[in-house]
Amino acid sequence: MEAGDFPTDCYLDAVVRFLRIIKYNDDNYTHEERVRNLHYAYTKAAMHFSQPKQQALIKASPRRLQASLQTIVAMVVYAWVRVDPEVMADLSIHYTYMLVLDDSQDDPDATMKSFYEDLLAGRPQQHPWWQMVNEQFPTVLSHYGPYCGLNLVRSTTDFFQGCWIEQHNFQGFPGSSDFPGFLRRMNGLGHCVGGSIFPKAQFDEGALFTEITSVIAQMENWMVWVNDLLSFYKEFDEPRDQTSLVNNYAKCDRLSLAEALDKLTRDTIRSSEQIVEVFADKDPSIADTLRTFCQGYVTWHLSDPRYRLRELVTNAAGGDSLVAQEFRAHQAAADLVGAVDPKEWAYPRIADMVENAQEVKNVQTTEPFVRKAFLNALPVGTIAQWGKKVWAQEYV
Protein backbone atom coordinates (compact mmCIF):
# COMPACT_ATOMS: atom_id res chain seq x y z
CA MET A 1 0.00 0.00 0.00
CA GLU A 2 1.29 3.44 -0.90
CA ALA A 3 1.10 5.73 2.13
CA GLY A 4 -0.22 8.55 -0.03
CA ASP A 5 -3.25 6.52 -1.11
CA PHE A 6 -4.55 5.88 2.40
CA PRO A 7 -6.45 8.58 4.38
CA THR A 8 -3.98 8.38 7.25
CA ASP A 9 -4.90 11.51 9.20
CA CYS A 10 -8.62 10.79 9.01
CA TYR A 11 -8.13 7.19 10.10
CA LEU A 12 -5.76 7.91 12.98
CA ASP A 13 -8.19 10.49 14.28
CA ALA A 14 -11.04 7.94 14.16
CA VAL A 15 -9.06 5.24 15.99
CA VAL A 16 -7.76 7.60 18.67
CA ARG A 17 -11.25 8.98 19.34
CA PHE A 18 -12.48 5.43 19.90
CA LEU A 19 -9.56 4.44 22.15
CA ARG A 20 -10.11 7.51 24.29
CA ILE A 21 -13.78 6.68 24.81
CA ILE A 22 -13.12 3.12 25.98
CA LYS A 23 -10.17 4.31 28.12
CA TYR A 24 -8.00 1.64 26.59
CA ASN A 25 -5.82 0.00 29.23
CA ASP A 26 -5.56 -3.77 29.04
CA ASP A 27 -4.60 -5.26 32.42
CA ASN A 28 -6.35 -8.60 31.84
CA TYR A 29 -3.31 -10.87 32.34
CA THR A 30 0.22 -11.12 33.54
CA HIS A 31 2.58 -12.23 30.77
CA GLU A 32 2.85 -15.69 32.29
CA GLU A 33 -0.93 -16.11 32.47
CA ARG A 34 -1.33 -14.99 28.87
CA VAL A 35 1.32 -17.38 27.57
CA ARG A 36 -0.09 -20.30 29.57
CA ASN A 37 -3.61 -19.82 28.20
CA LEU A 38 -2.33 -19.24 24.68
CA HIS A 39 -0.33 -22.47 24.71
CA TYR A 40 -3.14 -24.56 26.18
CA ALA A 41 -5.73 -23.34 23.67
CA TYR A 42 -3.29 -23.58 20.79
CA THR A 43 -2.15 -27.12 21.57
CA LYS A 44 -5.65 -28.57 21.64
CA ALA A 45 -6.74 -26.65 18.54
CA ALA A 46 -3.60 -27.58 16.61
CA MET A 47 -4.17 -31.26 17.39
CA HIS A 48 -7.70 -30.90 16.02
CA PHE A 49 -6.61 -29.31 12.75
CA SER A 50 -3.77 -31.77 12.23
CA GLN A 51 -6.26 -34.66 11.93
CA PRO A 52 -6.40 -36.38 8.51
CA LYS A 53 -9.99 -35.31 7.78
CA GLN A 54 -9.30 -31.65 8.49
CA GLN A 55 -6.13 -31.78 6.43
CA ALA A 56 -8.03 -33.31 3.52
CA LEU A 57 -11.02 -30.96 3.57
CA ILE A 58 -9.48 -27.59 4.42
CA LYS A 59 -8.18 -26.03 1.22
CA ALA A 60 -5.48 -23.90 2.74
CA SER A 61 -1.72 -24.15 2.75
CA PRO A 62 -0.13 -25.31 6.02
CA ARG A 63 1.35 -21.83 6.43
CA ARG A 64 -2.05 -20.16 5.94
CA LEU A 65 -3.79 -22.54 8.35
CA GLN A 66 -1.05 -22.01 10.94
CA ALA A 67 -1.42 -18.24 10.69
CA SER A 68 -5.22 -18.47 10.92
CA LEU A 69 -5.07 -20.64 14.03
CA GLN A 70 -2.56 -18.38 15.77
CA THR A 71 -4.72 -15.34 15.02
CA ILE A 72 -7.89 -16.92 16.40
CA VAL A 73 -6.26 -18.41 19.49
CA ALA A 74 -4.96 -14.95 20.35
CA MET A 75 -8.40 -13.41 19.80
CA VAL A 76 -10.13 -15.89 22.10
CA VAL A 77 -7.51 -15.84 24.85
CA TYR A 78 -7.21 -12.05 24.85
CA ALA A 79 -10.96 -11.35 24.88
CA TRP A 80 -12.69 -14.37 26.52
CA VAL A 81 -10.74 -13.66 29.68
CA ARG A 82 -13.21 -15.05 32.23
CA VAL A 83 -13.88 -18.46 30.66
CA ASP A 84 -12.01 -21.66 31.50
CA PRO A 85 -9.00 -22.67 29.36
CA GLU A 86 -10.94 -25.66 28.03
CA VAL A 87 -13.64 -23.32 26.73
CA MET A 88 -10.96 -21.12 25.19
CA ALA A 89 -9.56 -24.12 23.34
CA ASP A 90 -12.91 -25.27 21.97
CA LEU A 91 -13.89 -21.74 20.95
CA SER A 92 -10.52 -21.38 19.22
CA ILE A 93 -11.39 -24.38 17.07
CA HIS A 94 -14.86 -23.05 16.30
CA TYR A 95 -13.76 -19.55 15.37
CA THR A 96 -10.84 -20.85 13.31
CA TYR A 97 -13.42 -22.63 11.19
CA MET A 98 -15.13 -19.25 10.74
CA LEU A 99 -11.89 -17.68 9.54
CA VAL A 100 -11.23 -20.60 7.18
CA LEU A 101 -14.65 -20.02 5.61
CA ASP A 102 -14.15 -16.26 5.46
CA ASP A 103 -10.91 -16.78 3.52
CA SER A 104 -12.44 -19.39 1.20
CA GLN A 105 -13.35 -18.72 -2.42
CA ASP A 106 -15.40 -21.86 -3.08
CA ASP A 107 -18.93 -21.38 -4.42
CA PRO A 108 -21.23 -23.18 -1.94
CA ASP A 109 -24.25 -23.41 -4.27
CA ALA A 110 -23.89 -27.04 -5.37
CA THR A 111 -23.21 -28.42 -1.88
CA MET A 112 -26.06 -26.50 -0.23
CA LYS A 113 -28.97 -27.77 -2.36
CA SER A 114 -29.86 -30.53 0.11
CA PHE A 115 -28.91 -28.62 3.27
CA TYR A 116 -32.30 -28.67 4.99
CA GLU A 117 -33.27 -32.18 3.86
CA ASP A 118 -29.97 -33.53 5.18
CA LEU A 119 -30.46 -31.59 8.40
CA LEU A 120 -33.91 -33.09 9.00
CA ALA A 121 -32.80 -36.59 8.08
CA GLY A 122 -29.68 -36.45 10.22
CA ARG A 123 -27.43 -37.04 7.23
CA PRO A 124 -23.96 -35.49 6.94
CA GLN A 125 -23.98 -32.22 5.08
CA GLN A 126 -22.64 -32.07 1.53
CA HIS A 127 -20.59 -28.96 2.19
CA PRO A 128 -17.24 -29.99 3.73
CA TRP A 129 -17.15 -26.95 6.03
CA TRP A 130 -20.47 -27.92 7.56
CA GLN A 131 -19.27 -31.50 7.98
CA MET A 132 -16.34 -30.36 10.08
CA VAL A 133 -18.22 -27.69 12.04
CA ASN A 134 -21.12 -30.01 12.87
CA GLU A 135 -18.74 -32.66 14.20
CA GLN A 136 -17.12 -30.12 16.52
CA PHE A 137 -20.22 -28.12 17.46
CA PRO A 138 -21.56 -30.51 20.15
CA THR A 139 -18.30 -30.09 22.07
CA VAL A 140 -18.61 -26.31 21.93
CA LEU A 141 -22.29 -26.34 22.86
CA SER A 142 -21.64 -28.60 25.85
CA HIS A 143 -20.18 -25.54 27.61
CA TYR A 144 -23.40 -23.51 27.28
CA GLY A 145 -27.00 -23.48 28.36
CA PRO A 146 -29.77 -23.88 25.76
CA TYR A 147 -30.37 -20.16 25.30
CA CYS A 148 -26.76 -19.15 24.70
CA GLY A 149 -26.22 -22.32 22.68
CA LEU A 150 -29.06 -21.46 20.30
CA ASN A 151 -27.46 -18.07 19.72
CA LEU A 152 -24.23 -19.80 18.73
CA VAL A 153 -26.00 -22.12 16.28
CA ARG A 154 -28.14 -19.41 14.70
CA SER A 155 -25.32 -16.91 14.39
CA THR A 156 -22.98 -19.49 12.86
CA THR A 157 -25.61 -20.29 10.22
CA ASP A 158 -26.03 -16.59 9.48
CA PHE A 159 -22.26 -16.27 9.14
CA PHE A 160 -22.17 -18.95 6.46
CA GLN A 161 -24.82 -17.14 4.43
CA GLY A 162 -23.09 -13.80 4.93
CA CYS A 163 -19.86 -15.23 3.52
CA TRP A 164 -21.89 -16.57 0.60
CA ILE A 165 -23.08 -13.05 -0.17
CA GLU A 166 -19.59 -11.60 0.21
CA GLN A 167 -18.22 -13.96 -2.42
CA HIS A 168 -20.22 -12.01 -5.01
CA ASN A 169 -18.41 -8.80 -4.01
CA PHE A 170 -21.78 -7.06 -3.87
CA GLN A 171 -21.70 -3.74 -2.02
CA GLY A 172 -25.42 -3.02 -2.30
CA PHE A 173 -27.26 -0.68 -4.63
CA PRO A 174 -27.06 3.10 -4.22
CA GLY A 175 -29.96 4.21 -2.05
CA SER A 176 -30.29 0.82 -0.30
CA SER A 177 -29.33 2.16 3.11
CA ASP A 178 -30.43 -1.02 4.92
CA PHE A 179 -28.05 -3.28 3.01
CA PRO A 180 -24.74 -2.50 4.79
CA GLY A 181 -26.17 -3.24 8.23
CA PHE A 182 -28.02 -6.31 6.97
CA LEU A 183 -24.86 -7.90 5.59
CA ARG A 184 -22.66 -6.93 8.51
CA ARG A 185 -25.05 -8.30 11.12
CA MET A 186 -25.29 -11.52 9.14
CA ASN A 187 -21.57 -12.16 8.79
CA GLY A 188 -20.45 -10.49 12.01
CA LEU A 189 -20.99 -13.38 14.45
CA GLY A 190 -22.19 -10.85 17.02
CA HIS A 191 -24.78 -13.16 18.56
CA CYS A 192 -22.33 -16.07 18.62
CA VAL A 193 -19.73 -13.95 20.37
CA GLY A 194 -22.27 -12.41 22.75
CA GLY A 195 -23.58 -15.82 23.77
CA SER A 196 -20.19 -17.51 23.98
CA ILE A 197 -18.78 -15.24 26.69
CA PHE A 198 -21.29 -16.76 29.15
CA PRO A 199 -20.52 -20.48 29.67
CA LYS A 200 -22.94 -22.28 31.97
CA ALA A 201 -20.23 -23.24 34.47
CA GLN A 202 -19.85 -19.57 35.39
CA PHE A 203 -23.16 -17.93 34.47
CA ASP A 204 -26.72 -19.00 35.25
CA GLU A 205 -28.45 -17.96 32.04
CA GLY A 206 -31.85 -18.33 33.68
CA ALA A 207 -31.06 -15.97 36.54
CA LEU A 208 -29.17 -13.56 34.26
CA PHE A 209 -31.45 -13.93 31.24
CA THR A 210 -32.19 -10.23 30.71
CA GLU A 211 -28.58 -9.16 31.23
CA ILE A 212 -27.24 -11.82 28.85
CA THR A 213 -29.87 -10.94 26.25
CA SER A 214 -28.90 -7.27 26.47
CA VAL A 215 -25.21 -8.11 26.11
CA ILE A 216 -25.93 -10.13 22.97
CA ALA A 217 -27.91 -7.18 21.58
CA GLN A 218 -25.00 -4.82 22.24
CA MET A 219 -22.37 -7.22 20.92
CA GLU A 220 -24.25 -7.59 17.63
CA ASN A 221 -23.06 -4.14 16.66
CA TRP A 222 -20.17 -3.29 19.00
CA MET A 223 -17.81 -6.11 18.09
CA VAL A 224 -18.42 -5.88 14.34
CA TRP A 225 -18.08 -2.09 14.32
CA VAL A 226 -14.82 -2.29 16.26
CA ASN A 227 -13.59 -4.97 13.88
CA ASP A 228 -14.51 -2.84 10.86
CA LEU A 229 -12.84 0.22 12.33
CA LEU A 230 -9.61 -1.54 13.27
CA SER A 231 -9.43 -3.62 10.07
CA PHE A 232 -10.08 -0.67 7.74
CA TYR A 233 -6.36 -0.22 7.10
CA LYS A 234 -5.63 -3.83 6.16
CA GLU A 235 -8.74 -4.07 3.98
CA PHE A 236 -8.25 -0.74 2.21
CA ASP A 237 -6.58 -2.11 -0.92
CA GLU A 238 -7.29 -5.83 -0.52
CA PRO A 239 -9.46 -7.02 -3.47
CA ARG A 240 -11.25 -9.66 -1.39
CA ASP A 241 -12.27 -7.16 1.29
CA GLN A 242 -14.03 -4.52 -0.76
CA THR A 243 -17.43 -5.35 0.76
CA SER A 244 -16.37 -3.83 4.08
CA LEU A 245 -18.92 -1.87 6.06
CA VAL A 246 -17.24 1.46 5.26
CA ASN A 247 -17.21 0.78 1.52
CA ASN A 248 -20.82 -0.40 1.61
CA TYR A 249 -21.87 2.73 3.50
CA ALA A 250 -20.17 4.84 0.85
CA LYS A 251 -21.87 2.97 -2.00
CA CYS A 252 -25.38 2.65 -0.57
CA ASP A 253 -25.61 6.03 1.21
CA ARG A 254 -23.71 7.90 -1.53
CA LEU A 255 -21.03 9.08 0.93
CA SER A 256 -17.37 9.88 0.51
CA LEU A 257 -14.96 7.42 2.10
CA ALA A 258 -14.16 9.95 4.84
CA GLU A 259 -17.87 10.46 5.57
CA ALA A 260 -18.47 6.71 5.70
CA LEU A 261 -15.53 6.23 8.08
CA ASP A 262 -16.81 9.02 10.29
CA LYS A 263 -20.25 7.37 10.41
CA LEU A 264 -18.68 4.09 11.52
CA THR A 265 -16.56 5.87 14.13
CA ARG A 266 -19.53 7.72 15.61
CA ASP A 267 -21.58 4.52 15.75
CA THR A 268 -18.73 2.63 17.42
CA ILE A 269 -18.24 5.34 20.03
CA ARG A 270 -21.95 5.53 20.76
CA SER A 271 -22.15 1.75 21.21
CA SER A 272 -19.11 1.81 23.52
CA GLU A 273 -20.71 4.49 25.67
CA GLN A 274 -23.94 2.48 25.85
CA ILE A 275 -22.14 -0.62 27.09
CA VAL A 276 -20.63 1.31 29.99
CA GLU A 277 -23.87 3.10 30.84
CA VAL A 278 -26.29 0.19 30.53
CA PHE A 279 -24.31 -2.34 32.57
CA ALA A 280 -22.81 -0.05 35.21
CA ASP A 281 -25.46 -1.01 37.78
CA LYS A 282 -26.07 -4.60 36.65
CA ASP A 283 -24.60 -7.85 37.98
CA PRO A 284 -20.87 -7.22 38.65
CA SER A 285 -19.84 -10.41 36.86
CA ILE A 286 -21.54 -9.18 33.68
CA ALA A 287 -19.86 -5.77 33.83
CA ASP A 288 -16.46 -7.34 34.53
CA THR A 289 -16.83 -9.83 31.67
CA LEU A 290 -17.71 -7.02 29.27
CA ARG A 291 -14.88 -4.77 30.42
CA THR A 292 -12.23 -7.46 30.06
CA PHE A 293 -13.67 -8.63 26.75
CA CYS A 294 -13.69 -5.16 25.21
CA GLN A 295 -10.16 -4.34 26.36
CA GLY A 296 -8.78 -7.67 25.16
CA TYR A 297 -10.62 -7.53 21.84
CA VAL A 298 -8.99 -4.17 21.11
CA THR A 299 -5.56 -5.43 22.18
CA TRP A 300 -5.91 -8.33 19.77
CA HIS A 301 -6.59 -6.02 16.83
CA LEU A 302 -3.77 -3.63 17.71
CA SER A 303 -1.15 -6.33 18.28
CA ASP A 304 -2.03 -9.09 15.80
CA PRO A 305 -0.02 -9.15 12.55
CA ARG A 306 -3.20 -9.82 10.54
CA TYR A 307 -4.35 -6.23 11.03
CA ARG A 308 -0.99 -4.61 10.16
CA LEU A 309 -1.60 -1.59 12.37
CA ARG A 310 2.07 -1.39 13.29
CA GLU A 311 2.66 -0.22 9.73
CA LEU A 312 0.90 3.01 10.65
CA VAL A 313 3.48 3.51 13.38
CA THR A 314 6.54 2.77 11.28
CA ASN A 315 5.36 4.20 7.97
CA ALA A 316 2.25 6.35 7.81
CA ALA A 317 2.13 7.72 11.35
CA GLY A 318 5.54 9.32 11.30
CA GLY A 319 4.31 12.85 11.91
CA ASP A 320 4.50 14.83 15.12
CA SER A 321 0.81 15.65 15.43
CA LEU A 322 -0.78 15.04 18.82
CA VAL A 323 -3.09 12.43 17.29
CA ALA A 324 -0.18 10.53 15.74
CA GLN A 325 1.70 10.61 19.03
CA GLU A 326 -1.33 9.35 20.92
CA PHE A 327 -1.86 6.54 18.44
CA ARG A 328 1.77 5.46 18.77
CA ALA A 329 1.39 5.42 22.56
CA HIS A 330 -1.72 3.21 22.35
CA GLN A 331 -0.02 0.90 19.86
CA ALA A 332 3.01 0.58 22.13
CA ALA A 333 0.77 -0.21 25.11
CA ALA A 334 -1.02 -2.92 23.12
CA ASP A 335 2.24 -4.44 21.92
CA LEU A 336 3.60 -4.47 25.46
CA VAL A 337 0.90 -6.90 26.58
CA GLY A 338 -0.32 -8.48 23.34
CA ALA A 339 2.67 -8.88 21.04
CA VAL A 340 3.74 -12.27 22.37
CA ASP A 341 6.27 -14.14 20.24
CA PRO A 342 4.51 -17.25 18.83
CA LYS A 343 7.66 -19.23 19.67
CA GLU A 344 6.59 -18.92 23.31
CA TRP A 345 3.25 -20.64 22.79
CA ALA A 346 2.42 -21.78 19.22
CA TYR A 347 4.24 -25.11 19.24
CA PRO A 348 4.37 -27.69 17.82
CA ARG A 349 3.38 -26.36 14.40
CA ILE A 350 0.50 -28.06 12.61
CA ALA A 351 2.73 -29.14 9.73
CA ASP A 352 5.12 -30.83 12.17
CA MET A 353 2.24 -32.61 13.91
CA VAL A 354 0.96 -33.90 10.57
CA GLU A 355 4.43 -35.05 9.55
CA ASN A 356 5.06 -36.80 12.87
CA ALA A 357 1.68 -38.49 12.79
CA GLN A 358 2.52 -39.83 9.33
CA GLU A 359 5.88 -41.11 10.59
CA VAL A 360 4.13 -42.95 13.41
CA LYS A 361 1.59 -44.37 10.95
CA ASN A 362 4.38 -45.61 8.71
CA VAL A 363 6.08 -47.31 11.65
CA GLN A 364 2.81 -48.92 12.72
CA THR A 365 2.20 -50.16 9.18
CA THR A 366 5.54 -51.91 8.95
CA GLU A 367 5.64 -53.05 12.60
CA PRO A 368 2.10 -53.26 14.04
CA PHE A 369 3.33 -54.16 17.51
CA VAL A 370 6.43 -52.82 19.21
CA ARG A 371 7.75 -55.41 21.59
CA LYS A 372 8.12 -54.32 25.21
CA ALA A 373 11.59 -55.83 25.30
CA PHE A 374 12.55 -53.61 22.35
CA LEU A 375 11.36 -50.47 24.15
CA ASN A 376 13.12 -51.47 27.33
CA ALA A 377 16.34 -51.96 25.40
CA LEU A 378 16.25 -48.45 23.94
CA PRO A 379 18.27 -45.73 25.67
CA VAL A 380 15.97 -43.33 27.53
CA GLY A 381 17.24 -40.44 25.41
CA THR A 382 16.00 -42.14 22.24
CA ILE A 383 12.41 -42.18 23.46
CA ALA A 384 12.68 -38.64 24.77
CA GLN A 385 13.93 -37.34 21.43
CA TRP A 386 11.03 -39.02 19.62
CA GLY A 387 8.59 -37.63 22.18
CA LYS A 388 9.82 -34.09 21.66
CA LYS A 389 8.86 -34.39 18.01
CA VAL A 390 5.37 -35.67 18.71
CA TRP A 391 4.21 -33.92 21.87
CA ALA A 392 4.18 -30.34 23.09
CA GLN A 393 7.31 -29.56 25.10
CA GLU A 394 5.55 -29.29 28.45
CA TYR A 395 4.33 -32.89 28.19
CA VAL A 396 7.73 -34.42 27.50
Render each residue's pLDDT in the chain as its tens digit; 396 residues.
444 578 888 899 999 999 999 999 999 999 999 999 999 999 999 999 999 999 999 988 888 999 999 999 999 999 999 999 999 999 999 999 999 999 888 889 999 999 999 999 999 999 999 999 999 999 999 999 999 999 999 999 999 999 999 889 899 999 999 999 999 999 999 999 999 999 999 999 999 999 999 999 999 999 999 999 999 999 887 766 677 899 999 999 999 999 999 999 999 999 999 999 999 999 999 999 999 999 999 999 999 999 999 988 776 545 678 888 899 999 999 999 999 999 999 999 999 999 887 766 666 555 544 444 434 544 444 434 434 443 444 333
> In the prediction, which pLDDT does 316 show?
54
Is the pTM higher than 0.95? The answer reads no
CA distances (Å), 169 to each of 108, 161, 165, in order?
Answer: 15, 13, 7
> In the prediction, which pLDDT does 364 show?
54
Tell me: is residue 166 an annotated ligand-binding position. yes
Give the distance between the most distant pair of CA atoms in the chain.
78
Tell me: is residue 235 an annotated ligand-binding position. yes
> In the prediction, which pLDDT does 87 show?
98
> In the prediction, which pLDDT does 103 show?
84
CA distances (Å), 203 to each of 91, 144, 145, 198, 368, in order?
Answer: 17, 9, 9, 6, 48
Using a 10 angstrom Cβ sphere, with 0-12 exposed, 13-18 middle and 19 or more buried, the burial of residue 246 is buried
Tell me: is residue 231 an annotated ligand-binding position. yes
Which H or E run includes 233? helix 232-235
Cis peptide before 348 (omega within 30 of 0): yes
> In the prediction, which pLDDT does 243 show?
79
> In the prediction, which pLDDT does 377 show?
47
The domains located in the chain, with CATH, are 3-347 (1.10.600.10), 348-396 (no CATH)
CA dist 344 and 46 (Å) reads: 15
Which residues lie closer than 8 Å to 69 by C-beta, 6 or more apart?
42, 45, 46, 49, 92, 96, 346, 350
> In the prediction, which pLDDT does 315 show?
63
CA dist 80 and 92 (Å) reads: 10
Spatial CA neighbour of 188 closest among 214, 154, 236: 154
CA dist 74 and 62 (Å) reads: 18
CA dist 82 and 376 (Å) reads: 45
> In the prediction, which pLDDT does 3 show?
46
Which H or E run includes 104? none
Spatial CA neighbour of 70 closest among 390, 357, 356, 350: 350
